[in-house]
Structure 1
Amino acid sequence: MVKRKRKHHVVITGCFKEEFYEILKTTHESIGHGGRDRMISELSRKYKNITRCDVEVFLQLCEPCQLKQKGVDLIDFQSHPDGKYKFILVYQYHLTKFIILKPLEYKRAEEVAFNLIDIFTLIGALSILQSDNGREFSNNIVSNLKDMWPELKIVHGKPRHSQSQGGVERANQDVENMLTTWMQTEKNSHWSQGLRFIQLMKNRALHSGIKMSPYEALFGCKVKVGLSTSNLPKEVVNNLENVEQLLEIFEKK
């Protein structure tokens, strides 16, 4: 048991792992299903051995929270096809707000599932998949995911909150606006190429809800964009052409 210095401060104590779930559940409900950072702040006032990882695992098991934000959605670009691509898959992990964008040829559950497998094997799979494209479509996605990856256990969650629905629509509109701006700026009509850059811009920007960028929330560090994000002066970076020159700079320090 550890006490804070002043008498009027609360006692911070440890707890057994068997107690974690009930403590997390009680705390979570007491703050109105608040997010990770609010839970960590609240728990740190009383307990010393409940970690950020414990909180994140619990939040993945909280169905009301899983249903607050979408998992996957589609943007229809049939009016502006880019060769074979006519749709955009928008995937977002609700805890970190990290977004992944992928061009699709068709609006088919099997193609969506194939791309989701690519995402899940890179950053891990969620427990509940929420989609605004209809229950039958979402169930077909889950069915295809099970066929491709039998050990994967995932269920479809139905959107329940109008506020979340509005958030999805705003996010999709944001992607469309950023993509249009990119095409105009780069004078490039191939929006499937621009998706990667829009994805990076979204993930490196500060998110007001989590008070950090989605990239930082997921990976624990800021985005690196080669030497341009290093501590080297810009004029030095611009003149670098090979690794030998870079090593010379570090040797001088």
Structure 2
Amino acid sequence: MKKTIKNARVNRITHLIQEYNIDKVVHIRGQYNCLPDYLSRYSKEQFDDLFDIEYGLASKTLSTLSSSAPNNDTNNITSDSLVSSTNPKLLAAMTLRPRKNRLYYAEESISRDSDIHNHHDSTDTSNSTFNRKSKVTSKFSQNYFDVAKLQFEQDRDPKIQNIIKKLSTTSNHSSFILEDSKLYKVISHQNNSNRIIKALYLPSSMINSLLKACHDDPLTGAHFSTDRMYYKIRSHFWWPRMKIDIQCYVKSCSLCTQFNIDRAKRYGHLHSIPPPEGPFSLVGIDFCGPLPRTPRENQYVLVITDYFTRYITAIALPNCTAETTARALFDDFFCKFGIPSAILSDRGTHFLNTLMENIKNLIGYNHIYSTPYHPQTNGVVERFNATFVAQISKLQNTQHNNWDEYLQAVVFAYNTGVHKSTKFSPYELLYGCAARLPIHSRSQHFTFLKPNDYFEQLKKTLRVFHQASRENILLQQQANQEYYNKNRLDPQLKLGDKVLRRIYISKGKLDPKFSPIPNIVVELHHPMYVVEDEYTGIRSQVHISDLRPLIST
């Protein structure tokens, strides 16, 4: 345990297990090891106690004991003294409660217990019943908006008083009318011109309370959308810029920001990686798996993709540990194709570790890590993973799981096919000629050129291929950007803006989609942003598609 680990979670677990004398650690699949799997997903914010211990029913003997006790000592009888007494006829009930609703059940249990203890007191029973009803009613009637104050607030509003003065002097002002000392706005529906509505002119001092009542209250608004609020309000009230104010209020609602489902496309335009200067300047690596274990004990595939030629190298491996990854990269890629200028990968522990860091410093290349939860950064590799898994599934023997026997054949077929972006096959861009396949006829004669002539011809061919390939890649990237960015918003955040981060951990259907804790933007690298947790101060790099700005009213 002397090895330095930069992964905070692994490092924390390492310190914890040092307290125990562990001989062997065995991995068991989650479907056969339910308890640890449950504990790893169980939210620590939820209550740990499953039982409502206050629930219970006393037996007849207990009732007799309580009634026979002196009046001044009745309140001193506790559950502990009753349990410790010699009376064996105590009937107790243990009730399981859902964890998330425990607060509600706790309130209900207090009411039920008070009903049990005061069962013979009719006055107390009626009071407890009233308390229960008032609690339920208070959840749905917050009284945010008091329409009785409207007359008083209209008299105080200078804009409304100015309109009333104009009405008294001008008879042609038909869009407003004054009835019972209250100012109304006359509105005609666009769908039906014969229908006219008289809506009360709402003073500016009461706008916020009405919006709160029509959006936050469970009975009136229930956090529905802008259109529902607008149609619900416009038949009764009116004020200038009414729909804009409603829209701003809904956008500024923190609960709506956390829980609402994305109906539109996610934020952020597509920013493609420019094509490198030549083959193996930039390569992307990623693991595909776990796949069904083969007789050769292989379960993972390390995929290495050249960003210029799109040439694929795939290595079947038994696991995805850091040591196995480093060995495969060195033996099957570095020693065959040379050292790339840069390697792009995700932030998995098999890539982000001390061993890979030491190899990078020893051999000499740059290692670029993608943004968390944003696989589009390494999209070239991710796209091939989706392609080759389907091809292997068609070829393998399902009874023997021998997909690794077909892996290299599938990769060769891919490398010798024309790529959509480059308009050349990866094999041609790398070797300067097309691969000879079994479908080709055998050559009847051979022409031997001088080595120097072949070298010059190869250089010219590769120069033409590479230039055309780079132009084709740029054209394809431009087409992809136009298609991806169509009807997609690309908001630009500023320093100090408050945002909510998307939650990717396992969650239930009623859990928020975005974190309730605000984050503050501290660095700008659009479309990437470095945000800082407002409570913990931890900084993270997040893509704009995983952020929702908090709008203040």
Structure 2: distance between partners of 1:71 and 1:200: 18
- 1:146-225 to structure 2, matched below 5 A, reads 150=362, 152-160=363-371, 163-183=376-396, 189-225=401-437
Deviation, 1:218, is 1.1
Write out per-residue CA displacement over residues 39-96 of structure 1, whole angstroms, 9 at most, x where no aligned residue: xxxxxxxxxxxxxxxx428x93xxxxx4xxx621101134x11131111111111111
The range that moved more, 217-226 or 196-205, is 217-226
Checking the alignment, whether the CA contact within 8 Å between 2:347 and 2:370 is kept in structure 1 is: no
For 1:98, the aligned partner's letter is Y
Deviation, 1:143, is 3.2
The residue aligned with 1:35 is: 275
> CA-atom RMSD, angstroms?
3.1
Determine what percentage of the aligned residue pairs are the same residue. Answer: 25
2:377 paired with 1:130: no
Checking the alignment, whether the CA contact within 8 Å between 1:114 and 1:145 is kept in structure 2 is: no
The range that moved more, 82-91 or 187-196, is 187-196
For 1:82, the aligned partner's letter is T
* Higher RCO structure (Cα 8 Å, ≥6 apart): 1
Structure 1: distance between partners of 2:441 and 2:377: 37
Checking the alignment, whether the CA contact within 8 Å between 2:294 and 2:404 is kept in structure 1 is: yes
Structure 1: distance between partners of 2:375 and 2:290: 24
Q: How many pairs align?
A: 171
Deviation, 1:140, is 3.9
Stretches of structure 1 lacking an aligned partner (at least 5 in a row): 1-31, 37-54, 61-65, 233-248
Structure 2: distance between partners of 1:140 and 1:71: 19
Checking the alignment, whether the CA contact within 8 Å between 1:73 and 1:91 is kept in structure 2 is: yes
SS in 2 for 1:56: coil
Deviation, 1:137, is 2.9
2:324 paired with 1:111: yes
Distance 1:204 1:108, change over 3 A: same
Which protein is richer in helix relative to its size?
A: 1
Stretches of structure 2 lacking an aligned partner (at least 5 in a row): 1-271, 447-553
Checking the alignment, whether the CA contact within 8 Å between 1:86 and 1:105 is kept in structure 2 is: yes
Structure 2: distance between partners of 1:141 and 1:95: 27
For 1:85, the aligned partner's letter is N
Distance 1:140 1:98, change over 3 A: farther
SS in 2 for 1:173: helix
The residue aligned with 1:81 is: 293
Deviation, 1:126, is 0.8
Write out per-residue CA displacement over residues 190-222 of structure 1, whole angstroms, 9 at most, x where no aligned residue: 111111111101101111111101111111111
2:278 paired with 1:56: yes
Structure 2: distance between partners of 1:116 and 1:192: 18
Checking the alignment, whether the CA contact within 8 Å between 2:322 and 2:350 is kept in structure 1 is: no
Deviation, 1:124, is 1.4
Distance 1:33 1:117, change over 3 A: closer
TM-score of the two chains, using structure 2 as the length reference? 0.28
Checking the alignment, whether the CA contact within 8 Å between 2:307 and 2:380 is kept in structure 1 is: no
SS in 1 for 2:343: strand
Structure 2: distance between partners of 1:129 and 1:214: 19
Checking the alignment, whether the CA contact within 8 Å between 1:142 and 1:155 is kept in structure 2 is: no
Distance 1:173 1:107, change over 3 A: same
Deviation, 1:167, is 4.0
Checking the alignment, whether the CA contact within 8 Å between 1:74 and 1:133 is kept in structure 2 is: no
In the alignment, which of 102, 112, 118 is matched to residue 315 of structure 2?
A: 102
Write out per-residue CA displacement over residues 139-193 of structure 1, whole angstroms, 9 at most, x where no aligned residue: 445336359xx4x102210225764444433221111101111215x98631111
For 2:301, the aligned partner's letter is I
Structure 2: distance between partners of 1:85 and 1:103: 6
Distance 1:229 1:124, change over 3 A: farther
SS in 2 for 1:82: coil
Write out per-residue CA displacement over residues 3-48 of structure 1, whole angstroms, 9 at most, x where no aligned residue: xxxxxxxxxxxxxxxxxxxxxxxxxxxxx97536xxxxxxxxxxxx
Checking the alignment, whether the CA contact within 8 Å between 2:305 and 2:380 is kept in structure 1 is: no
Structure 1: distance between partners of 2:368 and 2:354: 13
In the alignment, which of 335, 360, 363 is matched to residue 121 of structure 1?
A: 335
Checking the alignment, whether the CA contact within 8 Å between 1:87 and 1:104 is kept in structure 2 is: yes
SS in 1 for 2:324: helix
Checking the alignment, whether the CA contact within 8 Å between 2:285 and 2:304 is kept in structure 1 is: yes
Deviation, 1:112, is 1.1
SS in 2 for 1:77: coil
